[in-house]
Amino acid sequence: MMEKIKSASLMTAIKTPYKLDGDVDLESYDFLVETQIKNGVQGLIVCGTTGEGHLMDWEEHLMLIAHSVNKFGDRLAIVGNTGSNNTREAIKGTKYGFAFGMDAALQINPYYGKTSDAGLKEHFTRVLDLGPSIIYNVPGRTGQDLQPEIIEELAQHQNLIGVKECAGNERMAHYEKQGIACWSGNDDQCFEGRHRHGSHGVISVISNLMPGLMRQLMDKDDPMLNERLQPLMSWLFHVPSPNALNTVLSMTGATKPVFRLPYSPVDLEARKEVIELLQEFSPEDWVGSGLELMEDEQFILTA
């Protein structure tokens, strides 16, 4: 399974949709995942940042991992985000995730209550001991950049699959030269990462919306396609993700327009902008049944 995951050049950090009452909408979730499979996505990150695992209790979180394994595990690699800023919680969640059949865990470094390099190494060693894992380095969210010295030492652990890296393509190229698998965590850098710096691929947000074109982008050295996608990638991150993604998937009818606070839809001007951006593509390129501007009152905010 570790080799299967390493062969996956496109994995989607899948969105978690909600019903009108704010509960997880499994019917919509299954539609989103089936669309990913149809378009050649090879793996899912379940309950990651995009999937809003941090807004769930553990019961919901682990239910969705188990559902993904049972429904799609024979067709996709299922990577459950069971990391935490609390080592005890990360161990607990990861044990349950593997018991429910996930193929691998995504493990983030402890955030907010940051620790020392020695503490980081011990934290990751404890969770790596439980099974195959991808380490996630996203300094913009955690406030702490995992340095190569730490990753290189952890790479000696038999259960380290690789790194989801948000610190740039040169960092990924450095790891890849040492045989450490890397996936870009930044959609806007993933083309260069894959075709110029030798990364394994991308763990993508935009593939929730454009899975087929992202499949092409990873498979083909196509600078023109990369250039076409860049404005939409920028739009998806003009506010902290996944606010914009949640908005546009509501606008295309892929999900119900329900947000769990503190996430909320982008403003009307931004919604007008994304309609113009999507009109540069064929309707068959994006996930959903149509495209509607939507008024503010059509969105539902739930706690």
Active site residues: 136, 164
The helix/strand/coil state of 18 is: strand
Q: In sequence order, what are the residues at sequence separation of 6 or more whose Cβ sits closer than 8 angstroms to the Cβ of residue 299?
A: 247, 250, 257, 258, 259, 264, 265
Residue type, position 123, single letter: H
Which of 50, 40, 100 lies closest to 73, judged by CA? 100
CA 219 – CA 225 distance, rounded (Å) = 12
Report residue 183 CA to chain centroid gap: 11
Q: Which two tokens stand for residue 140?
A: 């913009």
Name every residue whose Cβ is closer than 8 Å to that of residue 9 and which is 6 or more positions away in sequence.
42, 194, 200, 201, 202, 218, 219
